[in-house]
Amino acid sequence: MIGMLGPESVTILLLIAVLFFGAKRLPEMARSLGRAKTEFKKGQLEGDQEEKQPHEAPPADKGQTP
């Protein structure tokens, strides 16, 4: 869908965002989105690494009775 947007469409969307959120708030929102994207990718990489590692049995509880 993003590839279908032309320069005019992007400009109009940016103007609407500035009007809706304000010029001071947009950089803060962009930083938040960037951090969220980085954390998401980091979580994906950690999940992929966990899948590749052999699974170990959880340690048995010693001396505890239910």
Contacts of 51 (CB under 8 A, 6+ apart): none
**Which of 3-7, 12-16, 40-44, 62-66 is predicted with the least confidence, judged by mean pLDDT?**
62-66
For residue 51, what pLDDT band results from cuts at 50, 70 and 90? confident
Domain residue spans in the chain? 23-47
Q: pTM of the prediction?
A: 0.51
Integer Cα distance of 24 and 30 in angstroms: 11
- Would the pLDDT of 64 be above 80? no
pLDDT of 19-40, one tens digit each?
988 888 888 988 999 999 999 9
| Percent with pLDDT over 70 in the chain | 76
Contacts of 17 (CB under 8 A, 6+ apart): 26
- Would the pLDDT of 3 be above 70? no
